Amino acid sequence: MARSSERGDDVARRRTLAVLAVLGGAAAGWAVFLWFQLLRARSGLEPFCAFGADDCARLWDGAFAGAVHRVSGVPVAGWGVAWGVAALVLPLLARRQGGGQGLFRHAEGAVRLVGLAGLAGVAALLAASTWEGGFCSNCALTYVLTVAYGALALGRLKASPWTEHGVFAATLVTVASYALLLYPGLRTPRGDAGSAGQRAVAEAAQTLPPPPAPGTPAPGTPGATATTEEELRRFLDTLPPELKQILSDVLEQFRRQPVLPPEPPRAPIGNPSAGVLITEFTDVKCSHCADLHQTMAYILNALPGRFALDARHYPLDGACNPRLPARGPETVRCLAARVQICAEGDPRRFELSGELFAHQRELDERLTYAIAAKYLPQMALDACLADPATEAKLQADVEYAGRYDPRGTPLVLVNGRQASPYGPFLFAIILTGGDPDHPAFADLPPPRTGG
């Protein structure tokens, strides 16, 4: 009878370890996916706010995540991979050893210790999210898998996690995973790469010669004081190696994009006849859209008359965006898009958008109307918001963006070709008149990816 009970306990134990291995493998796989998404965003390839997940990028670039990457050399997602690998390997070793002899004979205790560490990590990440005022929905699966792992390991396994060999086994597997991930972690651009690109554009806006007086030949024409190539090379020389590499990657991705005929700008800012049309689709609550707006402010100041900006809208709210699932009544995302459409006839429309972006964290209906009141008379705004033509323009923007199958915002087009919102790229491509094969780009490092 005792042997039968022991066999039953061993079968239950082995099943528990098998489930734990599956949970650990799933956590590792999802962390790899998140790391890949982080890498693409940090490399300037896909910095966007996805539907329902716009806090993720802000938290990935936040103080806590930045400190983890800076101190350890591995981003938070990389640590998720390391934990997931340990959570996968240790249950498999515990099943193999079965409490016998060998280096990992206390692997079961190590499994419980890894479970405790996972629960502590989830608590730390949730605390950091609360402190930074956001929640990454893409990370929720990691939290669920980790909590399930910890609860199962602590509730169903009996070995002590604090034995000397258990601590050693958990530490050895985790450190080995970390060592394998350190190289790709060090090669993952840190969260300040995007802001560094924006700073490079801001500095270029201050150091470029002042705009020519009316009647002065434009760069590249007879009598001009500086050619486009000279301006471009001077700008490229200011970029550190990491930003040059990102620019090279983004240019290669841009070259591979199909060219679709752009729609005429509805309310262009800048020079519609300049030969370069930047079309942007933004969402008022998207942090990357706010960054893009600030970048465009620098470029408009530095390169007046050299391009036109067509500001369009793609609210991440299914209540007014039929390309997204509806999740309830309309939010301020829809209202803010319509308010900006109503302001398209006002020369201060760019400033209105900037003020909305500046308050995006606390933006609600009341604040949106308060900001709009600085630019538009209340009666005129109310009439415009009620006008079916305003809704038709918003739906036209959504349909226009839909041609490019956007995964989030911002969506940026250069003369109809999908592009990155990476600041140095936009600055450089405007200088070249939209030419991604300009000779000056030959001095950049080879691209790491074709997108």
Question: Which sequence spans correspond to the domains of the chain?
Answer: 2-187, 192-443
Cβ neighbors of 381 (< 8 A, separation 6 or more) are 339, 342, 369, 372, 373
Question: What local confidence, expressed as pLDDT, does residue 185 receive?
Answer: 84
Q: What confidence tier does 325 reach under pLDDT thresholds 50, 70, 90?
A: confident
The label of the residue with tokens 């209906």 reads: 365
Q: What's the rounded Cα separation, in Å, for the pair 195 and 191?
A: 8
Here the tokens at position 169 are: 């086994």
Q: What's the rounded Cα separation, in Å, for the pair 244 and 266?
A: 34
Q: What is the pTM of this model?
A: 0.73
Q: What's the rounded Cα separation, in Å, for the pair 189 and 183?
A: 12
Average pLDDT over residues 269-275: 93
Q: Which amino acid is at 52?
A: G
Strand-strand pairing, 269-270 and 308-313: antiparallel
More confident residue, 383 or 181: 383
CATH class assigned to 192-443: alpha beta
pLDDT in tens, 203-215: 877 776 555 555 5
Q: Which amino acid is at 46?
A: E
pLDDT in tens, 77-127: 899 999 999 999 999 988 876 544 555 556 788 889 999 999 999 999 889
The torsion defined by the Cα of 123, 124, 125 and 129, in degrees rounded to 10, comes to 100
Q: Which amino acid is at 358?
A: A
Cis peptide preceding 388, ω within 30 of 0 = no
Question: What local confidence, expressed as pLDDT, does residue 208 receive?
Answer: 66
Please state the length of the chain. 451
Here the tokens at position 31 are: 């962390």
Q: What confidence tier does 287 reach under pLDDT thresholds 50, 70, 90?
A: confident
The label of the residue with tokens 């929640």 reads: 135
Architecture of domain 2-187: Up-down Bundle (1.20)
- Find the range with the poorest average confidence among 103-107, 163-167, 248-252, 434-438: 103-107
DSSP state of 135: -
Q: What's the rounded Cα separation, in Å, for the pair 374 and 206?
A: 29
Average pLDDT over residues 58-69: 77
Across 274-399, the runs of DSSP E, i.e. the strands, are: 277-282, 308-313
Cβ neighbors of 195 (< 8 A, separation 6 or more) are 291
Domains 2-187 and 192-443 share a fold: no
- Please say whether the dihedral angle defined by the alpha carbons of residues 412, 414, 417 and 420, taken in this order, is positive or negative: negative
